[in-house]
Structure 1
Amino acid sequence: MPVPARRRFLVLAALAGLGTRAVAQPDGADAGWAALARPGAIVLFRHATAPGVGDPPQFRLGDCGTQRNLSEEGRAEARRLGEQFRRRGIQVGAVLTSQWCRARETAQLAFPGQVREEPAFNSTFGRGGGDERQTARARALLHDWRGPGALVVVSHQVNIQALAGVSTSSGEGIVLRRTADGRLEVAGRVTS
């Protein structure tokens, strides 16, 4: 999907202050997938469609009945996501997910048998700016990734914003690549 010039400018401006560098990509859906196929790639996915915002007041981690969960549309998105990886022959080295049910279910439907929970990617929504130590831990996990295969992370919009400096839609992924000086930069976007 083409990124309008104004939106591209705003994204670049936002990233300038966050230590993550955005790189202008050719228009078209394949740019993100091509970047993801490169060795050591990282993709940060927002969980698939789960109607609503945040979680109900009675939210309890580990109890999906108290959380905002995937819709049937979201489950179909997650399955299509995994199918895209398989169809494109993208090797997955590891799949890390938030412990929130909607993120975990997205990861399990897309990449069955490969999923590991990682609390560093749990939602920081509603924590008044998030948890800086948690974001630092997530950033360290990303920086340490060298492969083989792609690192797939399923998390939340607020976390991806903190890590990559860009917003995502449900089921959308931000592909990161390592620069020659070791920093991570945004290389593209992918969707199912």
Structure 2
Amino acid sequence: MSTLVRRRLLVAALAAMLIAGFIPASQAAGLDTVDPKGLIVLMRHAEAPGVGDPPNFELRDCATQRNLDATGREQARRTGALLRRIAGRAVTVHSSQWCRCLETARLLDVGPVQELPALNSFFERREEQEAQIVALRRFLAGLPPDRPPVVLVTHQVVVTALTGVFPASGEAVLLRTNGTGEPAIEGRVKADGSR
């Protein structure tokens, strides 16, 4: 078994353990019960079977990447419906440049999608993690607390590096702007909209 395959299996095993019990359901918050002002919805892309990207991966060629399946597309639509209930279409959406994130962001159908490279995956480029998280924290620090919600569609590694939370596919971590690069965590919302 190659080193890459072993590493991917280890990551998958760790994900299963962490997802099972990181934050009790009693501490999670649903999108429909929170104040939309200053809300940041930090979302892992919806279900895209597999781990990482194929060896021939190219950023601008979706055929070379892991992509959403039917479950992932439905997850994104359900989350979009929740977002529209609390904020209408006054939502700003930023996405990683990976196809699975861009498709998730578009299927939310809450506003135009803007690419934000600070949300890109560094799963197989860990040397880029520190600079990228610094850039993302700078972006977050610039968000005013009274603004409409911001949705950030990204990857597990980015969510975990920023918050310590290991989200499932399609899961969102709810953050609150506070003028710093470390917004407060308010809860989590699973891909099915449950708390």
Q: TM-score, normalised by structure 2?
A: 0.78
Q: Secondary structure at the match of 2:166?
A: coil
Residues 32 and 112 (structure 1 numbering): CA distance in 2 closer, same or farther, change over 3 Å?
A: closer
1:126 corresponds to: 124
State the AA in 2 paired with 1:108.
R
Query: Percent identity over the alignment?
Result: 45
Report the structure, 1 or 2, having the larger helix content.
2
Alignment of 1:69-148 (within 5 A): 69-89=67-87, 92-111=90-109, 113-128=111-126, 130-146=128-144, 147-148=146-147
Equivalent pair of 1:49/1:70 in contact (CA under 8 Å): yes
Residues 89 and 38 (structure 1 numbering): CA distance in 2 closer, same or farther, change over 3 Å?
A: closer
Q: Secondary structure at the match of 1:27?
A: helix
State the AA in 1 paired with 2:171.
E
Separation in 2, partners of 1:131, 1:28: 29
State the AA in 2 paired with 1:168.
P
1:68 corresponds to: 66
CA deviation vs aligned residue, 1:62-100 (integer Å, no higher than 9, x gap)? 100000000011011111111111234456431000000
Q: Secondary structure at the match of 2:26?
A: coil
Q: Secondary structure at the match of 1:84?
A: helix
Equivalent pair of 2:40/2:150 in contact (CA under 8 Å): yes
Which range moved further: 97-106 or 142-151?
142-151
State the AA in 2 paired with 1:99.
Q
Equivalent pair of 1:37/1:90 in contact (CA under 8 Å): no
For structure 1, the residue ranges without an aligned partner over 5 or more in a row are: 1-5, 9-24
Q: TM-score, normalised by structure 1?
A: 0.79
Which range moved further: 153-162 or 119-128?
119-128
Separation in 2, partners of 1:33, 1:47: 17
2:17 corresponds to: none
Equivalent pair of 1:91/1:150 in contact (CA under 8 Å): no
1:34 offset after TM fit, Å? Answer: 5.4
1:176 corresponds to: 175
Q: Secondary structure at the match of 2:55?
A: coil
Equivalent pair of 2:140/2:181 in contact (CA under 8 Å): no
Equivalent pair of 2:48/2:67 in contact (CA under 8 Å): yes
2:157 corresponds to: 158
Q: Secondary structure at the match of 1:131?
A: helix
Alpha-carbon RMSD across the aligned residues, in angstroms, is 2.6
